[in-house]
Amino acid sequence: MANELTRRALLGTVAATAMTGAMTSSGASRKSARKSLNFSDPIDNVTAYLKLRAATETRDVFMWFTGTLDLVVPGDPVRPIIAVESLILRRTERLAPLQWNVTDWEAALYRPLDSDRYLEPGERIRNPVTGRDVEPFHYREGPVRFRFSDREPRIVGSRDILPDTGRPFSYPWRIVNGDLWMTKSSYIRAPNWLTPAEFPEESSGPQIVVATHSSLRGALAEVEDPAVDAVRSDFAYTATSGWLPWMKMGSAPGFVSWAESGRKLLALDEAPTAQLAALRRHHAEWFARPEPWPEFTNMYLQYKARRR
């Protein structure tokens, strides 16, 4: 869904912060005193989260991940349908000592289940549930901007699907063998961009419903190092959602099961070479700077535009 997270940031300062980031990010050679974090304190809690998910200073990082999508129909075996590989430009803009915007621009590529290659435009695959040939398309999402502070995060600049609780920032943390782990679940319900009346085959219903479970892990020593603003991290993500538009399953009972995992990259050249080459072919606009594209888009809006 809306790939949440902060928008804009830095513009001309990106290059400068990238240089300083090399000195203060994960892997910095200079030693600095660790500062133990109190995770019951909202300030320490959000600081740890931003270091693992994005950064605490103005800069860009990248999230690489890959996984598979399965089709789940009640009473039937689970059927894998496609593999996906994505790269997110995640931009942190520090607005004040305790306020950040974090924006995501995501570019996603589909792969056949039995191959490392990426699908070609117009290529069709077999939907294992319906037996029909369907046409997945590489898609983009974002920008989605989160506003982080010592309160629970908000989405700004596009429709906000998060409940406005006003509560302090408090994510669950665990320390295991020197690593810091955060695991959380969320549930999203939002109006569907594709209405069943207009898109009977492509719309899974009047609302988009998504349930997610995600984990984030990084070295505790780096999270507690005041000189490190962005920690290398791993993450895993599972979710259930309604059918995607290109699956052409309409209101049929069942759901999509997502299983993905990946890691945070501190520089773009750390991404797989083949993926970068494919992104330049299929999502050239993702490489534009100071920002890839200004207006929010996602798979649903792109599908609607393709139908016009």
Q: Give 272-304 pLDDT, tens digit per residue.
A: 999 999 999 999 999 999 999 999 999 999 999
Mean pLDDT of 4-22: 33
pLDDT of residue 115: 93
Q: Is the pTM of this model over 0.85?
A: yes
pLDDT, tens digit, 9 for 90 and up, residues 146-158 = 999 999 998 887 6
User: Does residue 17 surpass a pLDDT of 80?
Assistant: no
Residues sharing a CB contact under 8 Å with residue 282, sequence separation 6 or more, in sequence order = 107, 109, 118, 121, 138
The share of the chain scoring above pLDDT 90, in percent, equals 82
pLDDT, the chain, mean: 90
> pLDDT: is 264 or 307 the higher one?
264
Q: What confidence tier does 11 reach under pLDDT thresholds 50, 70, 90?
A: very low
pLDDT of residue 252: 97
Which residue carries 């997110």 as its tokens?
88
pLDDT, tens digit, 9 for 90 and up, residues 84-116 = 999 999 999 999 999 999 999 999 999 999 999
Q: What confidence tier does 161 reach under pLDDT thresholds 50, 70, 90?
A: low
User: Does residue 221 surpass a pLDDT of 80?
Assistant: yes
CA distance 235 to 217: 6
Mean pLDDT of 203-214: 96
The share of the chain scoring above pLDDT 70, in percent, equals 87
pLDDT, tens digit, 9 for 90 and up, residues 226-255 = 999 999 999 999 999 999 999 999 999 999
- CA gyration radius for the chain? 20
Mean pLDDT of 23-52: 80
List the domain boundaries for the chain. Answer: 13-307
Which residue carries 């502070």 as its tokens?
149
Q: What confidence tier does 8 reach under pLDDT thresholds 50, 70, 90?
A: very low
